[in-house]
Every structure is written in structure tokens, then in C-alpha cells.
Amino acid sequence: MNDRTTVRILDHRTAEERDREFLPGMGRPWLLPFYDVFSRLAGVRALHDRAAALADVAPGESVLDVGCGTASLSLAVLRAQPDARVTGLDPDPAALRTAARKAARRRVPLTLVQGFADRLPTGDGSLDRIVSSLALHHVPDDGRVAFGREAFRALRPGGTVTIVDFGSSDVADGSAPGHEGGHGGVRGHGRLRGHGGPRGHGRGRSSVATNAHTARNLEGGLVRLLADAGFADAREVDHLEHRFGPITFVQATRP
């Protein structure tokens, strides 16, 4: 294997973190072998491709995929920009092993790190891009706040964070909190609209609203999370109605 195709798994956990519990991809560890098939059938690849396009990675840029799971978003970034330097971070060793096999099969270089979103495995200002898909709703409240802080620390000025997850920017009066003018032009752009089968959910009304994990992302939760961490331009840049609930794409730039 040469450098171009090196796939490796590193362990970034502290002794304390080795005993820390986490919510795996499908809720239960034994369901992991079905994750990619389920994800494909659910049309998740389109979300990954859209997030990778929004991240707009340039050749040579360093990208961290937080909560990478089986690395489908990492691989979407590498499809869009084969010369990116991509690292995936996830606490689940089984998901990381699957991710490594997928990257090796595709002969793409990928570094995988076992660890948590609240302590990113990288120095201050060292990242060009942070991306994350369907992962932050798995992270507990204090971990989400710490993730925002860590993203701000780890990105270089001008670097961006791009998140796709269940959620919405709608609030009761129809405006989004914590930022201005961020989504008027793009709401419902929906190149993806219809992909994955919208079934007439109102935005924010679905099982997502009643699920304690995903409900935190509704009403601008992700935008607020990033704004509170210091990302002044945090905004929803796209959204779509998936059959499992509203999906939001949120982006922010490190000032």
C-alpha cells in the first residue's frame, strides 16, 4: 500500500473515555452490519453528496468528519475532491473497521480515529473543513456544546463547518433564531427535495419532533449551537423533507 491509499485507525481516547458509553449508528451495536444497506435504501447517499458539495473542499485541504460511522460522508468528500486529506472520527470501533474496509476497497486514503465529538483529535486552527452527517443527534447535550467549542478551536480562520442532520430552522413565527438572512434564498432549494420520499411532513412535525435526541435540532437548534460557539454566520443553507423527518443543512465559517 502506498501513501495514496493508506487507511489507518488510531485511538484518541483517554483512559476515562474508554469506558464512556455512546449511542451507536442504529441504536444497537448488533445492527451495525445492516447500517449501510439501510442507509442506502433510505436515500442517505444524496445527503452525503449534498453535504460534500456544500463543504466545497479544495485540493490538499484537511477535513474532519465528526461521527463518521462507516465513513460514507468521508468517502463522498473524497469522491468530490480526491486530493482532500480526510479523517473520520467516531467512538464505535466496529463502525471504524467497516469504514476502513470500505476505504481500502475503494483505494482511497483515509485516517480513522476512535474518539468523541467533544474532543477533536487535532491542533488549534489546523483544519480547513469540518463535516458531520446524522451524528450530532447522537451526542449528549454537554458533548454538543463542547463540539461547537472544539470546532471553533480546530478550524483555521476562514475554515467552515458543514452539518447535515435531522432538524429544522423553523420557529413559531417562521423566522430562524440566532442569525439573519441565512436561508431566505435557499429554503426549499431542494435539489434534493423529493429524494428519499417526502411524505407530507410539515417541517418539524414528525417522529423527529418527539424523539428526545433529534428534537434538540429543531427550531434552529444546530444554528444556535454553532452561533453560541462563536460562529457569527451560522445558518441553514438547505433543507429537505425526508420520509423520516425534516433534514437541515447548517453551515458556518470560523471568523
Ligand X SMILES: C[S@@+](CC[C@H](N)C(=O)[O-])C[C@H]1O[C@@H](n2cnc3c(N)ncnc32)[C@H](O)[C@@H]1O
49 binds ligand X (CB under 6 A): no
- Give the binding-site size for ligand X (rule: CB under 6 A): 23
The upper half-sphere exposure of residue 104, i.e. CA atoms within 13 Å in the direction of its Cβ, equals 11
Query: Can you tell me which of 7, 13, 24, 57 binds ligand X, judged by CB under 6 A?
Result: 24
Query: Can you tell me which of 92, 165, 170, 219 binds ligand X, judged by CB under 6 A?
Result: 92
77 binds ligand X (CB under 6 A): no
Please say which residue, 91 or 221, places its beta carbon nearer to ligand X: 91
Stretch that binds ligand X, among 54-62, 138-146, 200-208, 219-227 (CB under 6 A): 138-146
**Residue listed under C-alpha cell 460522508:** 73
Q: Which residues contact 215 (CB under 8 A, 6 or more apart)?
A: 208, 209
* In the complex, residue closest to ligand X by CB: 69
Stretch that binds ligand X, among 128-136, 211-219, 228-236, 244-252 (CB under 6 A): 128-136
Query: Can you tell me which of 23, 54, 145, 215 binds ligand X, judged by CB under 6 A?
Result: 23
Please say which residue, 129 or 179, places its beta carbon nearer to ligand X: 129
Query: Can you tell me which of 50, 75, 84, 91 binds ligand X, judged by CB under 6 A?
Result: 91
What single-letter DSSP state applies at residue 181?
A: S
95 binds ligand X (CB under 6 A): yes
User: How far, rounded to the nearest angstrom, does the alpha carbon of residue 39 sit from its chain's CA centroid?
Assistant: 14
> What span, in angstroms and rounded, lies between the C-alpha atoms of 194 and 240?
8
Query: Can you tell me which of 13, 25, 112, 231 binds ligand X, judged by CB under 6 A?
Result: 25
Minimum distance from residue 44 beta carbon to ligand X (Å): 6
Pick from 132, 101, 120, 85: which is nearest to 13 by CA? 120
> What span, in angstroms and rounded, lies between the C-alpha atoms of 40 and 114?
24
Query: Can you tell me which of 57, 110, 116, 252 binds ligand X, judged by CB under 6 A?
Result: 116
Pick from 72, 80, 68, 70: which is nearest to 44 by CA? 72
The three-point CA angle 79-45-146 to 5° equals 90
Please say which residue, 118 or 128, places its beta carbon nearer to ligand X: 118
- Cβ count within 10 A of residue 123: 9
> What span, in angstroms and rounded, lies between the C-alpha atoms of 254 and 128?
10
Binding residues for ligand X, rule: CB under 6 A, are 22-25, 39, 66-69, 72-73, 90-92, 95, 116-117, 133-135, 138-139, 143
